[in-house]
Structure 1
């Protein structure tokens, strides 16, 4: 019998028939390496599947994280000159000077990659946001209004 046949016989039947005693430890090692290679493939796939499953987050059934929505809290409200000067995300440069003078702005604290960030966003005319209000902010679109967030949503920004 050739070594190839002996290996296949041993791995299929899991018994050392027709194999010299000095060859058996090497065959067992070969079979163990194959099992380790197969199991390592599954171990490599596991984090991938976890990430894919965790990527889709929709807040309160409406606000999709992939579309830019983040839970946040209003820190301050005021004119363009009164609010924070150096936020992480600033909508003021995208507005005309007429829009800047006619608008009120809110500074909103939110989390980005597990780090606290601040954004300056324009408020709609007549909105009544005040510091401490829980909101949803769209960090991808400056023209999207802040949306109220339920306190029971369980999000700490």
Structure 2
């Protein structure tokens, strides 16, 4: 009986530890730092994006940047749908529908494409 109880305690402790471990995507995009899996849903000039964005980097853009290309990325945070509007990085070759990582905490963070091994996972569109 003691062995059974000890085994159950070990399983319970191991399960709790698994839930507490931080999520890091592709070994470098930590969820605790604001990184989430997302999908590009719109690309266009800052002042013409139609979709509302809860995390909006356009507020930091000057009026002179109104025609600069921005990207709208849909993602889930705590199971709820959100969107991030951010300046499209000059070297980014993003298209609507691309699976990416987005940092909702940092307007200057890059928007890297996800590797093909993680692209088939579900996220908010």
TM-score using structure 2 length: 0.76
Q: Counterparts of 1:7-156 in structure 2 under 5 Å?
A: 50=16, 53-101=19-67, 103-153=68-118, 155-156=121-122
Runs of 4+ in 1 over 6 A off after TM superposition: none
Please provide the CA RMSD for this pair. Answer: 2.4
Paired residue secondary structure (2:32): helix
Q: Which structure has the greater CA radius of gyration?
A: 1
2:35 and 2:122 map into 1 onto residues whose CA distance is 14
Aligned residue pairs: how many?
Answer: 112
Q: Deviation per CA, 1:86-142, whole angstroms, max 9, x where unpaired? A: 2121110012223343x2111111001101211111111243211010100011000
Paired residue secondary structure (1:110): strand
Q: Considering Cα pairs closer than 8 Å and 6+ residues apart, tell me whether 1 or 2 has the greater RCO.
A: 2
- Is this contact kept in 2: 1:71–1:155, CA < 8 A? no
Structure with greater proportional strand content: 2
Structure with greater proportional helix content: 1
Q: Structure 2: any 5+ residue segments left out of the alignment?
A: 1-8
Q: Deviation per CA, 1:14-47, whole angstroms, max 9, x where unpaired? A: xxxxxxxxxxxxxxxxxxxxxxxxxxxxx9xx69
| Closer, same or farther: CA 72–85 of 1 in aligned 2, 3 Å | closer
